[in-house]
Structure 1
Amino acid sequence: MGFLGTQLDGGMGSGRWEKWRPTVSLVQHEDLVIDRLELLYTPRHEELVQRLMADLLVVSPETQVRAHALDLADPWDFGEVYSALYDWSRAYPFDPEREDYWAHITTGTHVAQICLFLMVEARFIPGVLLQTAPPKRQVEGDPGSYTLIDLDLSRYDAIAQRFAREQQDALSFLKSGIPTRNPRFNALIAEVERVAVRSRAPILFTGPTGAGKSLLARRMYELKKARHQVQGPFVEVNCATLQGDAAASTLFGHKRGAFTGALGDRAGLLRSADGGVLFLDEIGELGLDEQAMLLKAVEEKRFYPLGADREVASDFQLIAGTNRDLRSAVAAGRFRDDLYARINLWSYELPGLAERPEDIEPNLEFLLGEAARELGRQVRFNAEAKARYLRFAQSQEAPWRGNFRDLAASVTRLATLSEGGRIGVAQVDAEVARLRWLWDRSEAPAAPDPQAELHTLLDTETLDTLDLFDRLQLAAVVQVCRQAHSLSDAGRRLFAASRQRRQVVNDADRLRKYLARFGLSWDQVAAAPPG
Structure 2
Amino acid sequence: MKPLVVLGFLGSTLDASKFGPSRWNKWRPSVGLTMHEDLRVDRFVLLHGVQHTRLATYIAEDIAAVSPETRVEPHVIDFADPWDFEEVYGKLLDFARAYPFDPEAEDYLVHITTGTHVAQICLFLLTEAHYLPGRLLQTQPRRGTTEAAGTWTAIDLDLSRYDSIATRFAAATAESTSFLKSGIDTRNAAFNRMIDEIEQVAIRSKAPLLLMGPTGAGKSQLARRIYELKRARRQVKGPLVEVNCATLKGDGAMSALFGHRKGAFTGAVADRPGLLRSADTGMLFLDEIGELGLDEQAMILRAIEDKRFLPVGSDKEVESDFQLIAGTNRDLAACVAQGSFRDDLYARLNLWTFALPGLADRREDIAPNLDYELDRHAEREGDRVTFNKEARERYLAYATGPEARWPGNFRDLAASVTRMATFSPKGRIDLACVESEIARLKRLWSGNQVETDQLADLLPDAALATLDPFDRVQLAHVVATCRASRSLSEAGRVLFIASRAQKTSSNDADRLRKYLARFDLSWAQLT
TM-score normalised by the chain length of structure 2: 0.58
Matches within 5 A, 1:29-428: 133-135=142-144, 160=167, 163-428=169-434
Distance in 1 separating the partners of 2:362 and 2:373: 16
Matches within 5 A, 1:485-500: none
Distance in 1 separating the partners of 2:260 and 2:516: 48
Distance in 1 separating the partners of 2:309 and 2:335: 25
CA distance 1:453–1:258, change in 2 (3 Å)? farther
Distance in 2 separating the partners of 1:188 and 1:455: 41
Aligned to 1:244, the other structure's residue is in SS state: coil
Question: What's the CA shift for 1:455?
Answer: 3.4
Aligned to 1:278, the other structure's residue is in SS state: strand
- 1:115-163 CA-partner distances (Å, limit 9, x unpaired): xxxxxx9xxxxxxx9978413679xxxxx99x9x99887887xx85x72
Question: What's the CA shift for 1:459?
Answer: 7.6
Aligned to 1:449: 478
Aligned to 1:433: 439
Question: What's the CA shift for 1:472?
Answer: 1.0
Aligned to 1:472: 523
CA distance 1:279–1:453, change in 2 (3 Å)? farther
- 1:170-207 CA-partner distances (Å, limit 9, x unpaired): 11111111111100110000000011111110000000
TM-score normalised by the chain length of structure 1: 0.58
Distance in 2 separating the partners of 1:442 and 1:220: 36
Distance in 2 separating the partners of 1:204 and 1:210: 16
Question: What's the CA shift for 1:374?
Answer: 2.5
CA distance 1:135–1:207, change in 2 (3 Å)? same
Residue identity matched to 1:134: R
Q: Is the 8 A contact 2:374 2:384 kept in 1?
A: no
Aligned to 2:169, the other structure's residue is in SS state: helix
Residue identity matched to 1:135: G
- Is there any run of 5+ residues in structure 1 with no aligned partner, and where? 1-113, 115-120, 122-128, 139-143, 464-469, 478-531
CA distance 1:426–1:155, change in 2 (3 Å)? same
Residue identity matched to 1:237: V
CA distance 1:155–1:309, change in 2 (3 Å)? closer
Q: Is the 8 A contact 2:374 2:417 kept in 1?
A: yes
Question: What's the CA shift for 1:262?
Answer: 1.8
Residue identity matched to 2:325: I
Distance in 2 separating the partners of 1:454 and 1:338: 41
Aligned to 1:306, the other structure's residue is in SS state: coil
Distance in 1 separating the partners of 2:212 and 2:342: 17
Distance in 2 separating the partners of 1:454 and 1:271: 56
Aligned to 2:390, the other structure's residue is in SS state: helix
CA distance 1:228–1:442, change in 2 (3 Å)? closer
Distance in 2 separating the partners of 1:304 and 1:440: 49
CA distance 1:471–1:169, change in 2 (3 Å)? closer
Q: Is the 8 A contact 1:288 1:335 kept in 2?
A: yes
Distance in 2 separating the partners of 1:457 and 1:286: 34
- 1:3-43 CA-partner distances (Å, limit 9, x unpaired): xxxxxxxxxxxxxxxxxxxxxxxxxxxxxxxxxxxxxxxxx
Distance in 2 separating the partners of 1:368 and 1:298: 39
Residue identity matched to 1:316: F
Residue identity matched to 2:369: N
Question: What's the CA shift for 1:361?
Answer: 0.3
Question: What's the CA shift for 1:456?
Answer: 5.9
Percent identity, aligned pairs only? 59
CA distance 1:137–1:176, change in 2 (3 Å)? closer
Question: What's the CA shift for 1:449?
Answer: 2.6
Residue identity matched to 1:335: F
Distance in 1 separating the partners of 2:342 and 2:182: 34
CA distance 1:359–1:286, change in 2 (3 Å)? same
CA distance 1:456–1:286, change in 2 (3 Å)? farther
Distance in 1 separating the partners of 2:139 and 2:279: 45
Q: Is the 8 A contact 2:513 2:523 kept in 1?
A: no
CA distance 1:423–1:334, change in 2 (3 Å)? same
Question: What's the CA shift for 1:319?
Answer: 0.3
Q: Is the 8 A contact 1:372 1:415 kept in 2?
A: no
Distance in 1 separating the partners of 2:214 and 2:156: 47
Q: Is the 8 A contact 2:385 2:427 kept in 1?
A: yes
Aligned to 2:491: none
Aligned length: 334
CA distance 1:433–1:153, change in 2 (3 Å)? farther
Residue identity matched to 2:523: L
CA distance 1:301–1:454, change in 2 (3 Å)? farther
Aligned to 2:238, the other structure's residue is in SS state: coil
Aligned to 2:132: none
Q: Is the 8 A contact 1:375 1:416 kept in 2?
A: no
Residue identity matched to 1:449: V
Distance in 2 separating the partners of 1:163 and 1:454: 60
Distance in 2 separating the partners of 1:137 and 1:266: 66
Residue identity matched to 2:233: R
Distance in 2 separating the partners of 1:153 and 1:215: 35
Residue identity matched to 2:364: E
Distance in 1 separating the partners of 2:426 and 2:163: 53
